[in-house]
Structure 1
Amino acid sequence: MKNNRYIDKIFIVVMLLFFICLTGLLFHSIKKALPDEINIIANGEQQFDFGLPVNGFIKSAVEVSEIGESNIPSNQIKIDMHKPFTLKSGNGGSFVMACKLFGLINLKNVKIDVVDKEYVIPCGMPIGIYIQTDGVLVIGTSVVNAMDGMNYEPSYKLVKSGDYIVGVNGTKINNKNELISLINQDGANSIVLNIRRSGELIDVKIEPVQTTPDEYKLGVWVRDNTQGIGTLTFIDKDAEFGALGHGINDVDTSTLMELKSGSLYHTNIVSIIKGEKGVPGELTGTIDYDKKNILGEINRNTTEGIFGISEKILSQYDKDRSMMEVGLKQDVKVGPAHIRCNVEGEIKDYDVEIIEVNTGENNVNKGIVLKVTDERLLNVTGGIVQGMSGSPILQNNKIIGAVTHVFIQDSTKGFGIFIENMLQSKNVE
């Protein structure tokens, strides 16, 4: 009997822990499914269908209705987010919606902004990209073979992968050639590297190692630029462009590269490696880095894409005929859509199917899941390949996003970023 009671107690404890874990998982998943911010068009109605056991409370003069019922203006509006609902906005303003699980447990506050309609030109043209880092990026450290025949690692645990070397002994440097020159200039003397680490400036003292009569090394692998091919997503009436839909990360450190300057160039696609299961395909192109081939200047590298200015690209379009309305997150629906890109010598629209839409937090550039259904594109590329990042996604005569990633195990599928996220990142001062 005592053993049975002991087993019963253990069972109760286990079940209680299971219930607590399940509740915590439910809380986290529902919170993650809620967006941090909702934009609604001024003087318009926007429909939402989150299907979550959550009540939202808005302290504002916004009008709200369940589908099929009349609008109910109120100073304290309660929304049942388990059912479809509509938000009707006035001229402008910002509001906060307090979201509570089952109407009781605080989840998060969602900001609601009333915004004007936006229009941009969806592009889809291939571009060559060159950027120079703000400082010299540290890839890692290594062993140095010295003139005395011994091996040393002078920078071990002193500099870190992802650091940016911005100076030597207080002298500013712009590239790795200047870094090497200053190291050799000081010879065997200790040097102080001026480093930017996670936005903070620090000084690190290092003893160089002599490897030849005229050469000294720190045992640091560095990089000061990168280049590649991508796709231009949009350009607006002020000649501001956005491309890629994701940031340019260093291939070795996987960190977002801190930009000093950059340029867009004309590029010609010369070959296409088709995507296969487990092996991503790729667009291969040529870039002539002559100044006459520069299309525009890149001024920002962000997790939502690269941004800059190009009067030359804008001049190629008839603005009145090429502008397209920007679709908000709630406009994106599961169903047919198109992506715009150049894989056959000219810019074309290809059929895709949007199979999933995730508007919740942390979906920075993977909020849209799509599948290529166009036989033309499948025959040419096998689906989505590297170099197509930034291809505009169009649905219901609106630009709603851009292609960002391919599924490695299925090249017909990929992720896309909401165009709303790209534009918000572009507009950040």
Structure 2
Amino acid sequence: MKGFWRGLVKLLSPVLGGLFLCAALIGYLTPDALTAATTDSAFLNGNFPLSLHYEENTVTAAASDKQTPSLKAQLLLLGFFPVKEVNVTISDHQQVYVGGNAFGLRLYTDGLVVSSISSIQTEKGIADPAADAGLEQGDILLSVNGETLCTNEQLADIVTGQADTPLHFRVKRGERIFSADITPVYDTQTKSSKLGLHVRDSIAGIGTMTFIDPDSHRFAG
């Protein structure tokens, strides 16, 4: 009989040791305050094998409390092994409409964003008008010769035929706004005037509608 109990202890010791180790680790990693949608003792959604067991007196007090209650509950491992006591805030159930439809999105910038700086082949060799003027990738061109910039086509029309004619730009870099004079040069490869930079006036993308909140009309994608 002693051999049976001795064998049982040897068998259960690693299991109990593992439970204590897991409980200690979970207790360390789990926050002391949680949010739940119900006061029913149950396994946490997406967190099996963890569950909450509410103290009966706190649930009774919460039922008579008109404000959002904060309850005491035992965080359990496998439904029976205590980990630690936590504070649980009960939130209202939120219902949303599930989506799944694709949608397109285009965001327009305030000015033209410099996406890259490039060199230009001229009759006299390689020229870098934008770089020579101190422009960098990420700068925002706000205006040229006093005209507010809105589209790529607008800037292209202004530069056309303006080779060797300085253009006065207002540029934004971070929180700083400064002036820069850029002189377009004639590109012998494209047969047109160029500034030596590439710009974009918008950012486009495709997303998927995941849900819509019928109360606030907010959506996520």
2:137 corresponds in structure 1 to 161
Match for 1:152 among 97, 115, 127?
127
Q: Provide TM-score, normalisation by structure 2.
A: 0.55
2:74 corresponds in structure 1 to 66
User: Deviation string for 1:329-374 (max 9, x for gaps)?
Assistant: xxxxxxxxxxxxxxxxxxxxxxxxxxxxxxxxxxxxxxxxxxxxxx
Distance verdict in 2 for CA 1:42–1:231, change over 3 Å: closer
Is contact 1:45–1:87 with CA below 8 Å preserved after alignment?
no
2:102 matched to 1:126? yes
Q: Find the residue that maps to 1:188 and give its secondary structure.
A: coil
Match for 1:173 among 149, 152, 156?
149
1:165 Cα deviation after fit: 1.8
Distance verdict in 2 for CA 1:118–1:186, change over 3 Å: farther
Match for 1:218 among 195, 200, 204?
195
- The one of the two structures with greater contact order (alpha-carbon pairs below 8 A, sep at least 6) is 2
2: distance between equivalents of 1:194 and 1:164? 9
2: distance between equivalents of 1:195 and 1:182? 16
1:89 corresponds in structure 2 to 89
1:103 corresponds in structure 2 to none
Match for 1:40 among 35, 40, 43?
35
Distance verdict in 2 for CA 1:236–1:65, change over 3 Å: closer
1:39 Cα deviation after fit: 7.1
Q: Find the residue that maps to 1:177 and give its secondary structure.
A: helix
Is contact 1:184–1:215 with CA below 8 Å preserved after alignment?
yes
1:228 Cα deviation after fit: 4.2
User: Deviation string for 1:80-104 (max 9, x for gaps)?
Assistant: xxx45432337xxxxxxxxxxxxxx
2: distance between equivalents of 1:194 and 1:215? 23
2: distance between equivalents of 1:218 and 1:160? 13
2:220 matched to 1:242? yes
2: distance between equivalents of 1:223 and 1:210? 21
5+ residue gaps, structure 2? 1-28, 48-68, 77-82
Is contact 2:117–2:198 with CA below 8 Å preserved after alignment?
yes
Q: What code does the residue aligned with 1:152 have?
A: A
1:200 Cα deviation after fit: 3.8
Alignment RMSD: 3.9
Q: Provide TM-score, normalisation by structure 1.
A: 0.31
Matches within 5 A, 1:192-207: 192-207=168-183
2: distance between equivalents of 1:170 and 1:235? 44
Q: Which has the higher helix share?
A: 2
Q: Find the residue that maps to 1:180 and give its secondary structure.
A: helix
2:191 matched to 1:191? no
Q: What code does the residue aligned with 2:195 have?
A: L
User: Deviation string for 1:185-208 (max 9, x for gaps)?
Assistant: 755332232223234433323222
2: distance between equivalents of 1:205 and 1:175? 20
1: distance between equivalents of 2:97 and 2:195? 49
Distance verdict in 2 for CA 1:65–1:177, change over 3 Å: same
Q: Find the residue that maps to 2:138 and give its secondary structure.
A: coil
Distance verdict in 2 for CA 1:183–1:234, change over 3 Å: same
2:209 corresponds in structure 1 to 232
Aligned-residue sequence identity (percent) comes to 24
Matches within 5 A, 1:95-106: none
User: Deviation string for 1:388-422 (max 9, x for gaps)?
Assistant: xxxxxxxxxxxxxxxxxxxxxxxxxxxxxxxxxxx
User: Deviation string for 1:191-232 (max 9, x for gaps)?
Assistant: 2322232344333232222337x9431100122234443311
5+ residue gaps, structure 1? 1-32, 50-60, 69-82, 91-114, 244-429
Q: Which has the higher strand share?
A: 1
1:318 corresponds in structure 2 to none
1: distance between equivalents of 2:184 and 2:30? 53
Is contact 1:141–1:155 with CA below 8 Å preserved after alignment?
yes
Aligned residue-pair number? 160
Q: What code does the residue aligned with 2:219 have?
A: F
User: Deviation string for 1:55-78 (max 9, x for gaps)?
Assistant: xxxxxx95444336xxxxxxxxxx
Match for 1:143 among 115, 119, 130?
119
Matches within 5 A, 1:373-412: none
1:178 Cα deviation after fit: 1.1
Which structure is larger by alpha-carbon Rg, 1 or 2?
Answer: 2
Is contact 1:194–1:203 with CA below 8 Å preserved after alignment?
yes
